[in-house]
């Protein structure tokens, strides 16, 4: 479908986790601002179930309540299964198709609307990366737990025609990783690796593959009974001793799965007596992961020497320790990871693919000063009336200089919840939905883990510093860009005491670099804090407690304020003091 300027491109991420709906509105031909309008709504932020993979009805209804008139170009994706296969299953459980019709949503299902386009999983990841890319040309590497099954690719799709699985095994093969070349508006797949899930010989209830991302997922399932807990595995790895992994399937197969964590919360995990075993396993997985990515990066550099920039995306790109080591290895001049490389971006990637196929659409790099992650629903921005009503029982202030007063409170050791603008769409706090504190306050990491975030004691925290200060505090070059906490550089020795609470066991820190044009108020807050303390850096963690999604609305912020001992909440132009 060739769409005209002003059209809306709707992407449906009907994924197992983090389902979403996205809309890209092409700018009018004569518009002065040629940037498209972007909205991305995650199901979890509305139903308050972390990483929810529910059919994205709530997100769609929220989006349609603010939809422009005009043509709709609709696309969809679901990881592992085709969306139509999933919807047929739902229809067997209850009259799903009839329900969609009653809700006025039948247009958004390929089961009832044949014009809905299917976009393969890794192509969604790559297209979302292309949308945010700061480079005119780059290699895009996509890697995750598992992508689209080869048999589910549209008939004659070039990625199957050129890079299909060997031996006609389409029904068994899933995407492992994919390589694309990006040149301006052009995006072309040049390599695809497939993985095959097979039942374990020793553990019939498990299916293992040779996939690198799957290895990490299965280890997270073993250690934390949660295959989404790869970030915890990365943090735990620094406490263990690594042993080589020669065959991924065999490594998983010989594990004693009776020693796997059986669930029951962080206290049961911490009291399991298996910390050393789990830490050694995590170290082995992380080391193998890093070595494997280094090998892939080296091969890409040798095969495409004219491409000096790499974009790494997919769920595997959330591993900030590996990302930094890849950058330090020097295979590429710069490595970029999008703001939400995991499945949060699948709906947006489906929309972006259709957007770029439109004849009216141009493309230009999204510069580093323009990079942001806050594309949540405009409804996530509370009005003044809503704030005054929601927090009527609290002491409210409207500071004349919000950044300066909050910086003073932080300098005095207060812990503040920070809720500004549209919600962030990824898993990390980046200055719109954050909990903030002094990074040099002794014991603050343990206090946050114990009393506010309720996380395992070993887990580290990240920080946010002014972009121009990063080379002073961390081992990074001048001009280093890390707006989405995608890289974990080493903390310089002279700052390891001051930044101890955001420096991990491996002496690295998951730090965000903040540019003023990208987030003026957050930049001014950090700058004001630095003027008062001499340290232009804050501890920054996501505005939620363990097991809950990031705060979306004023009502969500109220629940967090009344259930945690944060000292105050900054929401819009107001400072809300915690009555507790």
2: pLDDT confidence band, cut at 50, 70 and 90?
A: very low
What per-residue confidence (pLDDT) applies to 32? 46
User: Mind listing the pLDDT tens digit for each residue in 440-468?
Assistant: 999 999 999 999 999 999 999 999 999 99
- The average pLDDT across 521-539 equals 98
- Class of domain 378-577 as given by CATH: alpha beta
Beta strand 396-397 pairing with 334-336:
unpaired
Sign of CA dihedral 295, 301, 303, 304: positive
CATH 3.40.50 assigned to 8-130+340-370:
no
- The average pLDDT across 190-198 equals 95
For the chain, helix, strand, coil in percent to 5 are: 40, 20, 45
- 576 compared with 65, residue with greater pLDDT: 576
Cα separation of 561 and 386, whole Å?
16
pTM for the structure as a whole: 0.96
What per-residue confidence (pLDDT) applies to 220? 98
What are the sequence ranges of the domains in the chain? 8-130+340-370, 378-577
1: pLDDT confidence band, cut at 50, 70 and 90?
A: very low
CB under 8 Å, gap of 24 or more: what pairs does 450-455 form? 451/564, 451/565, 452/415, 452/545, 452/564, 452/565, 452/566, 453/541, 453/545, 453/546, 454/266, 454/545, 454/546, 454/547, 455/266, 455/546
Buried b (16+ CB within 10 A) or exposed e, 148-164: bbbebbeeebebbeebb
Cα separation of 46 and 56, whole Å?
10
- The average pLDDT across 117-123 equals 98
Cα separation of 476 and 573, whole Å?
35
User: Mind listing the pLDDT tens digit for each residue in 320-338?
Assistant: 999 999 999 999 999 999 9
* Contact call for residues 93 and 322 (beta carbons, < 8 A): no
68: pLDDT confidence band, cut at 50, 70 and 90?
A: low
User: Mind listing the pLDDT tens digit for each residue in 387-435?
Assistant: 999 999 999 999 999 999 999 999 999 999 999 999 999 999 999 999 9
What per-residue confidence (pLDDT) applies to 359? 64
Residue 4 has pLDDT above 60, yes or no: no
Largest pairwise CA distance in the chain: 69
């Amino acid at each position: 479908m060739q769409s005209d300027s002003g059209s809306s491109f709707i992407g449906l991420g009907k994924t197992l986790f983090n389902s979403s709906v996205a809309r890209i509105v092409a700018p009018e031909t004569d518009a002065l601002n040629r940037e498209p309008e972007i909205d991305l709504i995650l199901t979890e932020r509305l139903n308050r179930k972390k990483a929810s993979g529910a059919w994205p009805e709530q997100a769609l209804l929220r989006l349609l309540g603010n939809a422009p008139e005009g043509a709709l170009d609709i696309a969809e994706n679901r990881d592992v299964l085709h969306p139509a296969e999933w919807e047929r299953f739902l229809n067997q459980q209850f009259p799903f198709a009839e329900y969609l019709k009653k809700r006025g949503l039948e247009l958004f299902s390929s089961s009832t609307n044949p014009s809905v386009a299917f976009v393969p999983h890794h192509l969604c990841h790559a297209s979302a990366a292309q949308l945010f890319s700061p480079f005119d040309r780059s290699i895009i590497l996509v890697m995750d737990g598992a992508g689209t099954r080869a048999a589910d690719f549209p008939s004659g799709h070039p990625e199957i025609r050129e890079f299909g699985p060997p031996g006609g095994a389409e029904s068994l093969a899933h995407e492992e990783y994919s390589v694309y070349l990006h040149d301006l508006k052009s995006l072309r797949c040049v390599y695809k690796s497939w993985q095959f899930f097979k039942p374990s010989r020793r553990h019939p209830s498990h299916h293992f593959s040779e996939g690198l991302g799957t290895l990490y997922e299965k280890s997270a399932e073993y250690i934390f009974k949660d295959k989404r807990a790869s970030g915890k595995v990365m943090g735990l790895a620094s406490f263990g001793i690594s042993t080589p992994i020669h065959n991924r399937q065999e490594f998983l197969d010989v594990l004693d799965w009776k020693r796997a964590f059986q669930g029951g919360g962080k206290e049961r995990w911490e009291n399991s007596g298996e910390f050393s075993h789990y830490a050694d396993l995590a170290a082995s997985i992380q080391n193998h992961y890093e070595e494997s990515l280094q090998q892939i990066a080296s091969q890409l550099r040798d095969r495409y020497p004219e491409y000096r920039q790499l974009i790494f995306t997919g769920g595997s790109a959330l591993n900030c320790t590996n990302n930094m080591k890849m950058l330090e290895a020097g295979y590429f001049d710069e490595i970029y990871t999008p703001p939400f490389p995991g499945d949060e971006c699948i709906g947006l990637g489906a929309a972006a693919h259709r957007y770029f196929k439109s004849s009216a659409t141009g493309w230009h790099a999204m510069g580093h000063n323009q990079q942001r992650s806050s594309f949540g629903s405009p409804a996530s921005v509370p009005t003044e009336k809503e704030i005054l009503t929601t927090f009527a029982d609290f002491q409210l202030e409207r500071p004349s200089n919000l950044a300066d007063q909050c910086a003073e409170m932080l300098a005095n050791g207060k812990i503040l919840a920070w809720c500004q603008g549209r919600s962030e769409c990824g898993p990390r706090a980046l200055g719109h939905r954050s909990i903030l504190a002094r990074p040099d306050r002794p014991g603050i990491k343990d206090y946050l883990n114990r009393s506010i975030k309720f996380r395992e004691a070993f887990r580290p925290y990240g920080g946010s510093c002014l972009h121009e200060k990063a080379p002073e505090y961390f081992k990074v070059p001048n001009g280093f860009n890390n707006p989405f906490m995608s890289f974990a550089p080493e903390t310089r020795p002279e700052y390891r005491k001051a930044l101890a609470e955001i420096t991990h066991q491996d002496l690295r820190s998951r730090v965000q670099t903040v540019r003023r044009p990208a987030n003026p108020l957050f930049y001014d807050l950090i700058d004001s804090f630095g003027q008062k303390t001499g340290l232009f850096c804050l501890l920054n963690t996501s505005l939620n407690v363990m097991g809950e999604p990031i705060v979306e609305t004023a009502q969500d912020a109220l629940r967090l304020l009344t259930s945690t001992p944060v000292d105050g909440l900054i929401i819009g132009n107001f400072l809300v003091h915690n009555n507790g």
